[in-house]
Amino acid sequence: MRFEVPQFIDIEDKIFGPLTWRQFLYLGGGVGMAVVMFFTLPLFLFIFLGIPLALLAGALAFYPVNNRPFSFFLEAIYNYIRGQRLYLWRQKTDTVYKTSAPSQPNSTRTGTDPSLINPARPKNNIASLAKKLELQALQKKE
C-alpha cells in the first residue's frame, strides 16, 4: 500500500485569490483603517497617519525579512527596545587551571627577605627592589 507524503507543508494556503488568510487580514485591516481616516480626518492628518499605516499593512502582508514574516521582525524590534541591555560580566571564583606550587619558598608567604635566602644576590639593587614591591602590591588580595 502506498501513501503520499504531503509536500510544501510550510507554505500557507491561498484563500482569497493570490492572498493567504494572514495577508488578507493585514491588507483589509490596514487599508480599511486608512479609508476610515481619509473620510474622518483632514487631508494633512490622513497623509501623516493613514499612508504610513497602509504602508505598514503592505509590509506586514508582503515583505519578508530574512525569509521570515515582517511581523516577527517587528516583534524582535519591540523586544529589543523594551528589554534590558545592560550586560555585566562577573568572573566566577572557581578556577579551572591551577599552577603548581613554586619550588622555592616565596618571600611574600614566608616573610623573609630573598636576599637572605640567596646570598649571591646583591642587596642594594634598587630596580629589583622596585619590581618586588610592585609585585607584592599586585598580589595582595582585597
Nearest of 48, 47, 54 to residue 29 by alpha carbon: 54
Cell digits of residue 89: 560580566
> CA dist 73 to 70, 81, 108, Å?
5, 12, 59
Q: Are 96 and 90 in contact (CB under 8 A)?
A: no
pLDDT digits (tens, 9 = 90+) for 70-126: 999 999 999 999 988 787 777 766 665 556 655 555 555 555 555 555 555 555 678
pTM above 0.85, yes or no: no
Please report the pLDDT score of residue 104 as a whole number.
57
CA dist., res. 50 & res. 45, Å (int)? 7
